[in-house]
Amino acid sequence: MLPEGRTGGHNGRFDFLGFEFRWEACRKGFAIVKRRTSRKKLRGAVERFTEWIREQRDQQLGELMKTVARKQQGHGNYYGLVGNSKSLSDYRTLTLRELFKWLNRRSQRRSYTWRRFTKLLRRFAVPLPRIVERATNPWTAEQAWVGTPTGGESVSVWGPLSGLPCVSEWG
């Protein structure tokens, strides 16, 4: 059950820095903030990829696939948060479907079947989506090291979010 006042106006959801933040009940039943790729940003990323592959489909295959691998890796590095695996998978599926379509339009006949296409992805090491954020338990007080605001010596800070101290003293 979500707390009172947490669902007002726009269902308690908002977009910030390419992520959609929303209140949801966790498996234990209490409310937590979950994050996923903003629908608008996901759609835009797929559209940009489609436009790029349409323009670059005549490149040599090796160079093209290296760039595809870098694009997949970069997307995963930014959006690879705990709880966002569905959006990562959606991005990979949609972009690789477009890649398959445009690679098959390089000549008058079909160049790849899905089996050959998956072998091509393995050959050029196009990465699978993976979560790069480390999951932490926000309810345990773990010691975290953070830099001072002036960029000086780091100090030890204790806080419930381990890395995001609630109260800190800069000495």
Domain hosting 150: range is 138-171
Q: What is the pTM of this model?
A: 0.72
Check whether residue 108 and residue 89 sit in a common domain: yes
Instruction: Please check whether residues 46 and 101 belong to one and the same domain.
Output: yes
Q: Which long-range contacts (CB under 8 A, 24 or more apart) does 3-9 make?
A: 3/31, 6/31
Asked if residue 145 has pLDDT above 50, the reply is no
**% pLDDT > 70, the chain:** 72
Domain match, 99 and 151 both: no
If asked whether residues 25 and 8 sit together in one domain, one would say yes
Alpha-carbon distance of 146 to 9, in angstroms, equals 36
64 and 18 fall within a common domain = yes
User: Token digits for 139?
Assistant: 């309810």
Say if residue 127 is in the same domain as residue 151. Answer: no
Same domain, 145 and 79: no
Is residue 53 domain-shared with residue 126, that is, in the same domain? yes
Answer for the pair 159, 141: CB distance below 8 angstroms, yes or no: yes
Overall domain count for the chain: 2
Q: Does residue 133 carry a pLDDT above 80?
A: yes
Whether 148 and 125 map to the same domain: the answer is no
8-47 pLDDT, tens digit each? 455 678 999 999 999 888 888 888 888 999 999 999 999 9
The answer on pLDDT for 158 being more than 50 is no
Same domain (yes/no): 99, 146: no
Same domain, 87 and 153: no
Q: What is the mean pLDDT of residues 146-156?
A: 45
Cβ 65 vs Cβ 126: under 8 Å: yes
Query: 53-93: per-residue pLDDT in tens?
Result: 999 999 999 999 999 999 999 999 999 998 899 999 999 99
| 48 and 120 share one domain | yes
Q: How confident is the model at residue 5, as a pLDDT?
A: 52
